């Protein structure tokens, strides 16, 4: 998680309403129009069903309460307005309370294609459709509960599970790749890269995932697939902390990427 953000989240008024500028609404409109075309035939059915339920506006950024109404009615979740950056303690506490953190800023045009920090487009478009699915929502809830109780050193392992499922998870449906991870679903470049033949795509094994390093600033060299969204429910009922201990004992896999070059100060 970055320590400094160039973005400042907007604050809602007493009625929970956020006043977005015309330019911010236009950026949302361009992002969602482009990505809806990009994910055709690639996003999993559960995501597309959730997107239909959310009925997100094309011409403006949705208000969080409009999204929360759908989430509460389907899985008991809701959106929670947060600053651009929050602590891991806050992050896990919100998930454990069935509140999905949404930083209330949208990317600038300079970072239209890629930004390291999750903005409102990433969170709402990329994730909230899946949160209408019970198995996905239950997995996310249980993950938050486990992470809230975990030690700091163990959260590093749990972060890998989140990364390779909720953010960059894939599903094999009738031998075809389908996307359910929000980090892919909200990124045109990552969506296309999944189908390029370049990354390694392997069946998900929890211990292997816990042992797999990742970088946030590159296309992922490896993705992990589940067979159905119900697999996440099964994972949520595993003794994940016991698996973390096994992963720690086995050690990390060799990274499939070059180390990040640090610029001289």
Which residues define the annotated binding site?
Answer: 122, 127, 167
What are the helix (H) ranges across the chain?
22-38, 45-54, 64-74, 88-96, 120-121, 134-149, 152-162, 182-185, 188-194, 206-210, 230-236, 240-250
Take residue 87 and report the two structure tokens written for it: 């602590």
The answer to whether 171 and 178 are in contact (CB under 8 A) is yes
Q: Which residues are catalytic?
A: 122, 127, 167, 186
CA distance 201 to 190: 14
The answer to whether 164 and 184 are in contact (CB under 8 A) is no
Binding residues for Fe cation, by number, are 122, 127, 167
CA distance 56 to 35: 13
218 Cβ contact partners less than 8 Å away, ≥ 6 residues apart: 257
The answer to whether 115 and 107 are in contact (CB under 8 A) is yes
User: Judging by DSSP bridges, how do beta strands 170-173 and 176-179 pair with one another?
Assistant: antiparallel
């Amino acid at each position: 998680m970055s320590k400094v953000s160039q973005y400042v989240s907007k604050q809602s008024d007493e009625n929970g309403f956020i006043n977005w500028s015309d330019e911010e609404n236009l950026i949302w409109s361009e992002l969602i129009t482009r990505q809806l075309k990009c994910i055709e035939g690639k996003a999993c059915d559960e995501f597309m069903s959730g997107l239909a339920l959310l009925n997100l506006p094309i011409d403006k950024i949705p208000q969080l309460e409009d999204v929360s109404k759908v989430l509460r009615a389907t899985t008991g979740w809701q959106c929670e307005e947060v600053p651009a950056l929050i602590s891991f303690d806050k992050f896990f506490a919100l998930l454990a309370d069935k509140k999905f953190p949404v930083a209330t800023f949208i990317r600038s045009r300079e970072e239209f294609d890629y930004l390291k920090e999750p903005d409102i487009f990433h969170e709402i478009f990329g994730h909230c459709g899946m949160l209408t699915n019970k198995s996905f929502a239950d997995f996310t809830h249980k993950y938050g509960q486990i992470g809230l109780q975990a030690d700091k050193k163990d959260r590093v392992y749990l972060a890998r599970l989140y990364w390779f499922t909720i953010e960059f998870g894939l599903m094999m449906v009738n031998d075809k790749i389908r996307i359910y991870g929000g980090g892919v679903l909200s990124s045109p470049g990552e969506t296309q890269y999944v189908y390029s033949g370049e990354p390694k795509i392997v069946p998900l094994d929890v211990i292997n995932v816990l042992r797999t390093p990742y970088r946030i600033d590159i296309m992922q060299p490896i993705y992990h697939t589940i067979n159905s969204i119900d697999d996440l429910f099964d994972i949520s009922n595993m003794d994940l902390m016991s698996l973390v201990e096994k992963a720690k004992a086995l050690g990390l896999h060799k990274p499939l990427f070059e180390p990040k070059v640090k610029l001289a100060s």
